[in-house]
Amino acid sequence: MRDIFEEIFAKDPLDAMEAARRSMRPALRRRFYDKAAVEGGPDDFAILLDGKPVRTPARRPLAAPSRALAEALAAEWNAQQEVVDPAAMPLTRLANSIIDGVAQMPLSVAEEITQYLGSDLLFYRAEGPQGLVERQTRQWDPVLAWARDVLGARFVLAAGVMFVEQPEDAIDAAKAAIPTDAWRLGAVSSIATLTGSALLALAMLRGRLSVEEAWAAAHVDEDWNMEFWGRDERALERRGYRFAEMLAAAEVLRLAPA
């Protein structure tokens, strides 16, 4: 069973967007178990396949900090049909990354999120056309107002793509909202990577935005371009895989204990 787990998941990258891209071309293995279940413990809840513990690619137990989250993981394994398809298991993929990666280097992950706060998607506004400018304002300004009023972080906007340095006190104020527990930290990191915005990730963490609202805000420019130039089916397919990763991160935020 060890070789099977390593073959299916060992090459999963920690970067959520790259994970989504690789999930489109998995090496599928036949389902090798009858049932996934959850075994409760004092501190975590392990996933079992036919009574045997599941291991991450780094050989750590696949276990969640709440029964509800563990049940969601087990449901992914039970939903597999003839083959085990990693593309259909975004929550397990994220859990592997959190257990093997985030939990081992939380300060580095938090710093990566902080770097997004220095060049967040929401800071850089189009100079035209007017319809796009208005759409960005409508979708993004409420999040910036929330960051100002709730987090105490007042950021600076820029027109175009020229870098603008953000006030250190604004970054520090928003940084204080980054969670320290590995599971929610990993989820926030995944959302920031998928959207290009730490502020959208923090707004989801705090319940200011739903996953659908954050996803729409992250794709204002892309949606605008498709309205004018037509749909890019391959881009939409890739976007669908990324949204599955986004939903997995939202599930972690919902089910992991604060």
Written as six digits, the tokens of 153 are 């972080």
Mean pLDDT of the chain: 91
Q: Which of 73-87, 169-183, 188-202, 218-232 has the lowest mean pLDDT?
A: 218-232
Q: Are strands 63-64 and 158-159 parallel, antiparallel or unpaired?
A: unpaired
Question: What are the start and end residues of each CATH 1.10.3580.10 domain in the chain?
Answer: 105-255
**What average pLDDT score do residues 60-88 get?**
96
Contact 9, 56 (CB under 8 A): yes
Give yes or no for residue 227 having a pLDDT over 90: no
Give yes or no for residue 33 having a pLDDT over 80: yes
55 beta partners: 61
Angle at 229 between CA 199 and CA 224, to 5 degrees: 25
Name the CATH superfamily for 105-255: ATP12 ATPase (1.10.3580.10)
235 compared with 147, residue with greater pLDDT? 147
CA torsion sign for 10, 16, 22, 23 is: positive
**For residue 149, what are the CA distances in angstroms to 120, 154, 173, 174, 206?**
18, 8, 11, 11, 13
| Cα 71 to Cα 36: distance, rounded to the nearest angstrom | 9
| Cα 143 to Cα 31: distance, rounded to the nearest angstrom | 44
Contact 140, 122 (CB under 8 A): yes
Give yes or no for residue 22 having a pLDDT over 90: no
Place of tokens 């999120």: 113
Residue 19 burial (C-beta neighbours within 10 Å; 0-12, 13-18, 19+): buried
Give the three-class secondary structure for 167.
coil
Class of 2-100 in CATH: alpha beta
| Cα 6 to Cα 12: distance, rounded to the nearest angstrom | 10
Q: pTM score, two decimals?
A: 0.89
Q: Residue 16: what pLDDT? A: 46
| Cα 100 to Cα 188: distance, rounded to the nearest angstrom | 16
Written as six digits, the tokens of 141 are 């300004």
Contact 224, 132 (CB under 8 A): yes
